[in-house]
Amino acid sequence: MSGEPRETPASASLRVLRHDVVDSTNECAHAALEAGEARDGDVHVARGQTRGRGRLGRRWESPPGEGLYVSLVHLPPPPGPHAPAVTMAAGLALLDLLLGLGVERARLDWPNDVVAGGAKLAGVLVESRGFVPERPHFVIGVGLNVRQSSFPEELLSARAVTSLHLLGIQTEPERLVTPLAERLLDRLRMASDRSEELCADYLEATGLGGVEVLASSAQGTIRGRLEGLELARGLCFRVPTGAPRWIELAHVRSIERARSL
């Protein structure tokens, strides 16, 4: 990170900290946590990132002024929500924002990429460093492609990617900061108080409830109908032998719609 952030109170519980170009807004949030300066509801926003991080060690392309790069600090009272609930809440908040902006055919791709018409529009990276049961903490990083009219070839060769601009929605990253942060707070409250509702909304947002899927975990890949989702037990599948199979959320690597046999 670089320079002193500019601070603006956004609402009672949000404090927006604006940076210019930083390595990663998640890193800004971790640095503030380590320095003992972080507050619950801090929102680190940068105009650009030089080392934007994606899931699974990938890079997040973060050209200045083109995308929304935000990290929210969540410091819930102990014991805090399950980590997968925070991830689901973040994906749903992002989807809430995008559906509200009029993005059509948007849905969540496991675990929380937002895709529109099959192309990736946004992603979420939730991180915690060190587990202290009395002081749970989460850094919720969100990247959203806003104004890009093209993407680097290396990115496109890995998968289809899109932006709000390419979907016909013209806006500025800055205008989305507070709306996104407010939706994050709403969904994080839901993760703490109404996790069954959160799970139901999440399953619906993936479009995979009741669908025949291939789910891969460290134990291998199973094919079955996805029938339910609970934080404690994970995902429930009906497999051809008829018996329900549960896979813990933390163990699921990928889920995709199965092709018909």
- Of residues 104 through 133, those in contact with ligand BTN by CB under 6 A are 113, 123-125
Q: How far apart are CA 147 and CA 121, in angstroms?
A: 11
Question: Quick one: which segment of 1-9, 22-30, 146-154, 199-207 binds ligand BTN (CB under 6 A)?
Answer: 22-30
Q: How far is the CB of 21 from ligand BTN (least distance, A)?
A: 12
Question: Quick one: which segment of 77-85, 103-111, 140-148, 188-196 binds ligand BTN (CB under 6 A)?
Answer: 140-148
Q: Is 92 helix (H, G, I), strand (E, B) or coil?
A: helix
Q: How far is the CB of 167 from ligand BTN (least distance, A)?
A: 17
Q: How far is the CB of 183 from ligand BTN (least distance, A)?
A: 16
Question: Quick one: which segment of 53-61, 194-202, 212-220, 228-236 binds ligand BTN (CB under 6 A)?
Answer: 53-61
Q: How far is the CB of 219 from ligand BTN (least distance, A)?
A: 24
Decide: 141 and 116 in contact? Cβ < 8 Å: no
Buried b (16+ CB within 10 A) or exposed e, 36-69: eebebbbbbbbbbbeebbeeeeeebbbbeebbbb
Choice between 176 and 237, CB closer to ligand BTN = 176
Determine the residue with CB nearest ligand BTN.
Answer: 123
Choice between 49 and 195, CB closer to ligand BTN = 49
DSSP classification of residue 130? S
DSSP classification of residue 173? G
User: Angle of helix 83-100 relative to helix 195-206, nearest 10 degrees?
Assistant: 60
Question: Quick one: which segment of 2-10, 63-71, 171-179, 225-233 binds ligand BTN (CB under 6 A)?
Answer: 63-71
By CB under 6 A, residue 223 contacts ligand BTN: no
Decide: 94 and 200 in contact? Cβ < 8 Å: no
Number of chain residues interacting with ligand BTN (CB under 6 A): 20
Decide: 247 and 234 in contact? Cβ < 8 Å: yes
Neighbour count for residue 223 (Cβ, 10 Å) = 13
By CB under 6 A, residue 163 contacts ligand BTN: no
User: Angle of helix 177-193 relative to helix 195-206, nearest 10 degrees?
Assistant: 120
Q: How far is the CB of 52 from ligand BTN (least distance, A)?
A: 4
Question: Quick one: which segment of 24-32, 86-94, 193-201, 238-246 binds ligand BTN (CB under 6 A)?
Answer: 24-32
Residue 235 phi/psi, 5-degree rounding, is -95, 140
| H helix runs in the chain, sequence order | 25-34, 83-100, 153-158, 177-193, 195-206
By CB under 6 A, residue 147 contacts ligand BTN: no
By CB under 6 A, residue 53 contacts ligand BTN: yes
Residues lying near ligand BTN in the complex (CB under 6 A): 24-26, 49, 52-55, 58, 60, 69-71, 113, 123-125, 141-143
